[in-house]
Structures are given as C-alpha cells and as structure tokens.
A = this chain, B = another copy of it.
Amino acid sequence: MTTTLHYGDTAKVLADLEPRLGTRMTRSEDVRRHHGTDEGWHLPVAPDAVLFPESTAEVAAIVRSCARHRVPVIPFGAGTSLEGGVAALHGGISLDMSGMNRIVEVNDDDLDCTVEAGVHRIQLNEHLGKRGLFFPIDPGADATIGGMAATRASGTNAVRYGTMRDNVLAVTAVMPNGDVVRTARRARKSSAGYDLTRLLVGSEGTLGIITEVTLRLYGIPEMIGGAICSFGSLEGAVRTVMETIQLGIPVARMELLDELQVEASNAYSGLTLDIAPTLFLEFHGTEAGVAEQAEQVQTISAGNGRRGWEWTTDPADRARLWKARHDAYYADLAARPGARGMPTDVCVPISRLAECILETRRDLDASGVWSPIVGHVGDGNFHLIFLLDPDDPEEVARHREVHHRLVRRALAMGGTCTGEHGIGYGKLDYMVEEHGEAAVAVMRAVKQAIDPGNIMNPGKVVPDAATSPAREAPV
C-alpha cells in the first residue's frame, strides 16, 4: 500500500494554479483549520491550503497538478461529516466546493435533476418545491449533495425512498489522473458495464472528486400526514417499528427518540413532548392512502403500549417537528454545554433491532455513559450521541469501550459498523471485521488501480494492507 509514500510539496501545486485561481486559494490558518475539522469527534488535521474551484474544469486542473506533484487532495462540502472524512491526514489541498453550487438542470418530466456538488440539500428542495418536486434524502445537517453522495448518506426518508445509493442516477467526477468521467446517462436503468455510479457513491473522495450529481426526484405527495406517539417502554416503540416494516406498510418516515433525546429536543427546539420513548412518523400518498397507513400503524402501536397519537397535516407543524428532529445532535450538544459530541451510528437487520437497542441501552446505563438513542429505525439504523469531556482520558476511554461494544454488537447481529455516517478514518479499524480480509483486499486493489499515487483523500475508507495479510496474486 502507498500511504507511506512521501508526498510532494503543496507549494508547487499553488504555484501551478495561481495564474488560474488567483485569490481563490489560501493558506490562512483559520481557513485551513476549519477545512480540516468536521462535526464528529476525531482529531481534526488542517490541510496545507484551501482552494475554491468554480467548475469541473478547474477541479480537473487542480487534480492534475496534485497528481504531478503527488499532493493529497480532499474534497470539502459543508464540513458536516462525522468520521473525520475531511481531516488532511497527510497534508495537501482541501477543495472547497462552495463555489460550485449551481442547479444545472431540472427535468420535471423525467423526475430528475443535475446539480453541482456544492449545492446544499435545503437549497435544492427550496428550488424544487416551487415545481411540486422534492429530493428526499436528508441527513441531519444541511449537507451538500456532493458530500452526501460521497458518503452514501441517508436520513429520515430512507425507509421509503432509499439512500443516496438508490437516488443518484449518475455523477460527474474528476479521477485521480485528471480525467473527467460521467458515470451514466439519465435513463432510469442500464446494464451497460460496471456500475461506476455506485462505485463512487460512498467512496468518500478516495477514488475521485464528485463535481456534479444527477438525482432522482419525486413529486410532492398529494397528502402528507405526520404523527407523534410516545410509548410506555423503549421496547414498545421499537416493536411498533419492526411490525410496521414487516407488514410492508410504506411509511415515509419512522424515527425513534428515546427519553433523553426527547428531553434535549424539548429544551432546544421548544417542544413540549412527553418525556418518553417516542416515534415521529410521516405518511405520504393520496388522502385515502395516508389515512389507511396511519390507521394500520395506530393499530400496531396500540398493541405495543402506545400512549398518545398526535396527528397533523399542517405543513408548518410538520416543518417544526422535522426541524427539531434534524437538530437532535445540536440539541444534545446544547444539553451538555462544554462537552464534546461523539456521534456514531450502526445498522442491523430489522429483526434484531429491539435486541440491539435494548442491549445497548443496558450497556449505556451499566457503564454510566450519557447518550440518547435516536435514529432511522425503520431501516434498522440508530445513533448514539455521547457527550464527554475530551480532556478526561478515563471518560474518553470509557466511551470508546461502549462505542466498540456497540459496533461489535451490530456486527454480531449481521449489521454494519455504519449505516450512513461512513468510514472516514474513524471506523477504519472495523472494515476488516465487517467485510473480511478478502473483500477489503478487493477494495484495496480498486483503490490502487484507480489512484495509484494515493493522492485522493489518503488514509480514509480502505485500511492499509499492513493490518491484513497481502493479497495473493492470482498467477
């Protein structure tokens, strides 16, 4: 593997590009620090310089220079990643994509659009809403579409609409040699060759820089109904989710907030919810369809100790509710002023969800670790949000152990070490445990083939070969 290569001098890249970018590059310490830091808990590492391209051609010029001088290049969207994805572990260039925030085209008749990578999800939905369309994928943060594609993000609507994996039709990407690749046409399906779209989605900038994304869109449903219901027990809430999914009810959103999260969200977002395990639900469809789905879930939840059913079809009410849900992490940070947030996520098959969540709750309590449990439970995906003093080594160690047990528990149940946050460098150590040596060797071979100089976000996603036996050549 090539991470021990000596990288070249970033100054040479800056010298190359100065005539083209002018003031759209900086070595300012503040800007560099900002671009090496995300919203997670992993050590930030500032890049040597930050560049602000405004077109795919400029990104290609930058990457060609980085390739020539063997300088790492790390794309930066909104900086809202959680596993250290933007940390410049080996120095180099941060590519700030904020200058590429144009909505290139919206094809109403095909229910698709093409946007530059720096477009934010809220910006996109404001644009689409005027045309009666929406894009459903919504991680908590107002991330960029490029960042969401790169990390295979999902969010609250994934239970019905899928994740970025399912909703990216094509990307334009600058490959490590500076070639510009368009991964697919706009046809809804194709069996023409390797699925480069899906190879780049989730590759976290380690195989190429995504500069444009073509997305699948949806018409805003005729009717949207939202419900909040609390439960006598965490188990009752989770069983309601499991039964709803197993019956195939096409619920659009199905979010769990445990007692701690409800308390924090009440305080931060001005809600007045009962302090109890709570589901936020949303139903999309025709008027009759929504009524029917809601009735089915009411019946299921009644059998699981539901205590209330607050129903709304008012857009303003719903917006307030989902804003509160998206702000859950910020609510938790506010609940413990001065503490550092340490968010993580796992995902398990739905049949194991209750077991996984309840065991995790017991572990948290037994370990004296404060963390809400909150998540996109309709997918089997949930989050812990630790809040701790990063300067207290005992506290850090204790939380790391709980985190480690959480991941191990999810893997033992046939789950994954991350449902939607990605690997970055924070979860690198779980890659072999989750996928096995042979699969990681395939990922390594792909990385090596596409990025032989290892300049694309080095040190992320694919663990070094050193941690696993070398792959045997086939001949």
Per the 8 Å Cβ criterion, residues 423-475 of A in contact with B are 423, 427, 430-431, 434-436, 438-443, 445-453, 455, 461-462, 471-475
Instruction: Report B-chain residues with C-beta under 8 Å of the C-beta of A17.
Output: none
**Chain A 199-223 interface 0/1 with B at a Cβ cutoff of 8 Å (1 = within):** 1011100010000000000110000
Instruction: Report B-chain residues with C-beta under 8 Å of the C-beta of A182.
Output: 435-436, 439
Q: Which one of A181, A184, A422 has the greatest number of beta carbons of chain B within 10 Å?
A: A181
What is the CB-to-nearest-CB distance from A142 to chain B, in angstroms, rounded to a whole number? 19
- Copies per complex? 2
Instruction: Report B-chain residues with C-beta under 8 Å of the C-beta of A288.
Output: 288-289, 292
Q: Which one of A109, A189, A202, A422 has the greatest number of beta carbons of chain B within 10 Å?
A: A189
Q: Is the CB of B420 within 8 A of A191?
A: yes
Q: Is the CB of B380 within 8 A of A181?
A: no
The answer, yes or no, to whether A59 is at the interface (CB within 8 Å) is no
The answer, yes or no, to whether A193 is at the interface (CB within 8 Å) is yes
What is the CB-to-nearest-CB distance from A300 to chain B, in angstroms, rounded to a whole number? 14
- When C-beta atoms are compared, the residue in chain B nearest to A288 turns out to be B288
Q: Is the CB of A196 within 8 A of B443?
A: yes
CB contact between A380 and one of B187, B417, B472 (< 8 Å): that residue: B187
Q: Is the CB of B381 within 8 A of A193?
A: no
Q: Is the CB of A192 within 8 A of B416?
A: yes
What is the CB-to-nearest-CB distance from A83 to chain B, in angstroms, rounded to a whole number? 9
Size of A's binding interface in residues, CB under 8 A: 107
The answer, yes or no, to whether A350 is at the interface (CB within 8 Å) is yes
A165 to B189, CA, bound (A): 9
Instruction: Report B-chain residues with C-beta under 8 Å of the C-beta of A195.
Output: 152, 165, 195, 198-199, 201-202
CB contact between A202 and one of B151, B191, B349, B351 (< 8 Å): that residue: B191
Q: Is the CB of A453 within 8 A of B438?
A: no
Q: Is the CB of B192 within 8 A of A434?
A: yes
Given the known A-B contacts A165-B195, A430-B192, are A455 and B439 also in contact in the complex, defined by CB atoms under 8 Å?
A: no
Chain A contact residues, CB within 8 Å of chain B: 67-68, 70, 107-112, 151-154, 158, 162-163, 165-166, 175-196, 198-199, 201-203, 207, 218-219, 242, 245-248, 285-286, 288-289, 292, 347-351, 379-381, 410-411, 414-423, 427, 430-431, 434-436, 438-443, 445-453, 455, 461-462, 471-475
Supplied contacts A67-B474, A185-B349, 16 more A-B pairs, CB within 8 Å: A151-B191, A152-B189, A158-B189, A163-B191, A175-B438, A175-B442, A177-B471, A179-B442, A186-B415, A188-B379, A199-B199, A219-B248, A285-B289, A446-B450, A448-B449, A449-B449
